[in-house]
Amino acid sequence: MSDDPSLIAVPKLLQRQIDSFARSLLQPVRTFDFSSPPFEPALIPAQSVSWRVFKNPVSVFIGGVTAVLLEFGEPRVRDGVWQHSRFRTDPLTRLRRTGLAAMITVYGPRSKAEAMIAGVVRRHDRVVGLTREGEPYHANDPALLSWVQATAGFGFTQAYQAYAKRLTTSERRSLFVESAPIARLYGAVGAPSSPEELDGLFDAMRTRIAPSPIVFEFLEIMRRAPILPVPARPLQRVLLKAAVEILPPWVRGRLGLEERWRLNPFERAFVYTMARTADRLVLPSSPAVQSCRRLGLPDDYLYRR
């Protein structure tokens, strides 16, 4: 362990509890070993900005919700997910699998990450249908894939820099460069490659974003899902509000996510504390730390300032 004073030293019992919480967000029924095979690189290098951003379980959770809300603003993406998944009946398993897929994409050994992405692409090829308004969709439509890629990048980046640590302009640009090869593997050939292209895509989507009761059904499912221990379950709503807070204001208005979904000053301070603490607390079983071990790097490699 480094003697860097920016790292947090906590009692081992508390560290184990936080570690257990982080695992509960990411692990599906079937576990994944990020520590092997030894020295196999990931799709994104360990010295990347992405590796530092995705190590934070609090901002990853918040950013993931933000991304889904943006995705659900697009009717074809919204109904494609809602009509072809078990999210309503088994939300926790779906959440964990989605979280694990994000971690494998960033931290997993290249061979396993590529195999996982290829499997997702094959499954998406079978996802076709009509929206409630009668508009056709296909999950492997490059335009929809590019929107999903853009919303994920926006959500994770905004959550990290809003609540954990501000990113420089250079770091934000690096995130686009780092994610480009992965976007191509998924088939998102039109994904934004710069902040300017992301802004342009958001402007182009203004005529597509539409309100839906599914947005509120999703938030209610997330509020009730057994993610946190029962005594802490009310805090899930606070994290959901944090996700809504970082949506572009015009998107919040279009989706009807008004004042009751805004953080009050006490809640905002609580989220800041959680996210900033998570960014400085080394969690031994996390994908980030296990992947550092795979590459022969120290556990605190990503936590040094």
CB-CB contact of 65 with 240 (8 Å): yes
| C-alpha span between 23 and 253 (Å, rounded) | 34
The contacts of residue 98 (CB under 8 Å, 6+ apart) are 64
Q: Supply the pLDDT for residue 5.
A: 47
**For position 88, what pLDDT does the model report?**
83
Q: Return the pLDDT at 72.
A: 96
Res 9: pLDDT: 53
Q: Where are the domains of the chain?
A: 41-281
Rounded Cα distance between 108 and 44, Å, is 9
Cα 2–chain centre separation: 28
Please report where in the chains the tokens 């570690």 appear, as a residue. Answer: 19
Total length of the chain: 305
Do residues 163 and 59 make contact, with C-beta atoms less than 8 angstroms apart?
yes
- Torsion angle, alpha carbons of 246, 250, 251, 253, to 10: 100
CA distance 196 to 146: 15
Place of tokens 């071990």: 293
- Written as tens digits, the pLDDT of the chain (305 aa) is 444 545 555 555 545 555 656 666 655 435 789 999 999 999 999 999 999 999 999 999 999 999 999 999 999 999 999 999 888 888 877 787 888 899 999 999 999 999 999 999 999 999 999 999 999 999 999 999 999 999 999 999 999 999 999 999 999 999 999 999 999 999 999 999 999 999 999 999 999 999 999 999 999 999 988 887 777 788 889 999 999 999 999 999 999 998 889 999 999 999 998 899 889 888 888 899 999 999 999 999 998 86
DSSP letter for each residue of 145-162: HHHHHHHHHHHHHHHIII
**What does the DSSP 8-state code read for residue 168?**
P
- Dist. CA 298–CA 291, nearest whole Å: 10
By DSSP bridging, strand 128-130 and strand 136-138 are antiparallel
Its pTM stands at 0.91
Nearest to 235 by CA among 246, 222, 245: 222
Is the distance from CB of 278 to CB of 59 less than 8 angstroms? yes
Beta strands in the chain (DSSP E): 128-130, 136-138
Cis peptide leading into residue 41 (ω within 30°): no
Q: Would you give the DSSP letter of residue 164?
A: I
pLDDT value for 2? 45
